Amino acid sequence: MKKYGYKPLILTVFLVLCAGLLSGCLFEGEQSLEKMDTPEEAASTPPDPSSDEPQSKGEGEEAEGTGEAGETEDESAGTVSREVYLLDANGMVAPQTLELPASEEVATQVLEYMVKDGPVTNLLPNGFEAVLPAGTEINGVNAKEDGTLVVDVSEDFKNYEAKDEEKILQAMTYTLTQFDNVKRIKLWINGHEQDVMPVDGTPISEGVSRSDGINNQVGMETDIMNSEAVTVYFPAQNGEQVYQVPVTTRVSKGDDEYAAMVQALLEGPEVGSPLMNPFNEGSEMVKSKLENGVLALSFNENILTGTDEPSLSDAALASLVMSLTDLADVESVEVHVDGTEQVFNEAGEPLAEPVSRQDINGAEEM
């Protein structure tokens, strides 16, 4: 009996140990699966902002959504208004306000809505088209502390014509720099940093910012050395839609910045341009004053249109507001006319309060 009495006991102990080991292995495997299934965006360690390497979708996106300019959100519909730069019927780069699904990955999203044949297709206003080549995928973005946004795109990005290269750069730059924390962009293609654009060789090693201009119009007789670039907005029309197009031109150095920009507007777009001059001949700015973000501009009576009930045209007001609120210190514009107690808009409403960029965008959408 003693010879065989220990075998059941040994067998029992062995089975208990095996069960414990098996249970431990299974538990550890379950923990590993839990870790693998955890989304990367839920990780507590933020991405290294000193690295140029773009984050893949879902990584570091919280840096994208901070400081949006001019954002309005419809919470009930789950949409948000974004300014996306597209190509108009004249081949010029122009902003359009689109209602996009609310998203935390805002930089990635607006880029995806700039791709031809992409999700923007059913939202395009008449006469407009997306600017990025069809099939372009946004591999990732990385916002750095110095205001640079590194954008990594797929190889399909290279499928554009040389004549569109600067337009693509301008549209991407102006769309992404609408966010307060983005000052410039750098381009990567499939994980490789680009020193020049892939088709026409435009240098981009230092990044691209708004200081590089948009729809650049520089006359042959312009003195580059003694002038500086400014961006002003002129109206264009497609059917019944009137919209504003930014144009970078040059003004003499040393001039008062506000006066120089207004003068560039009063002179109108260059000869042969498809853009319109919304200001009457003989219009002059008398003085300007900036106080608490409000730029007060005074003009002579020639800026008003009509004889019975003179008013400031909506297009002229939009050009002034869009142009001057591009400046960092100007939040809104107030228009006065010498010899007139109250200035009215085309609808006969008094312009009693300063007008902001958001006021203009809302008016254009209505």
72 and 192 part of one domain: yes
- Which of 210, 239, 266 is a domain's end point? 210
316 and 240 part of one domain: yes
Provide the residue range defining the domain that includes 135: 55-210
- Which of 153, 178, 210 is a domain's end point? 210
Given a cut of 60, whether residue 17 has pLDDT beyond it is: no
What's the pLDDT tens digit per position in 158-181?
Answer: 999 999 999 999 999 999 999 989
* 8 A C-beta contact, residue 122 and residue 98: no
171 and 283 part of one domain: no
The number of distinct structural domains making up the chain is: 2
> Does 33 map to a domain?
no
Given a cut of 60, whether residue 234 has pLDDT beyond it is: yes
The DSSP code sequence of 78-132 is TEEEEEEEEE-TTS-EEEEEEEEE--S-HHHHHHHTTBTTSTTGGGPPTT-B--B
189 and 246 part of one domain: no
> Does 1 map to a domain?
no
> Does 204 map to a domain?
yes
Given a cut of 50, whether residue 60 has pLDDT beyond it is: no
Residue 53 confidence (pLDDT): 60
The whole-number average pLDDT for the span 127-145 is 97
Q: Count of alpha carbons within 13 Å of 126, Cβ hemisphere only? A: 6
- Which of 175, 210, 245 is a domain's end point? 210
> Does 12 map to a domain?
no
What's the pLDDT tens digit per position in 271-305?
Answer: 899 999 999 999 999 999 999 999 999 999 999 99
> Does 221 map to a domain?
no
> Does 77 map to a domain?
yes
Task: Give 55 or 345, the one with higher predicted confidence.
Answer: 345
204 and 346 part of one domain: no
98 and 144 part of one domain: yes
Given a cut of 60, whether residue 34 has pLDDT beyond it is: no
Given a cut of 90, whether residue 50 has pLDDT beyond it is: no
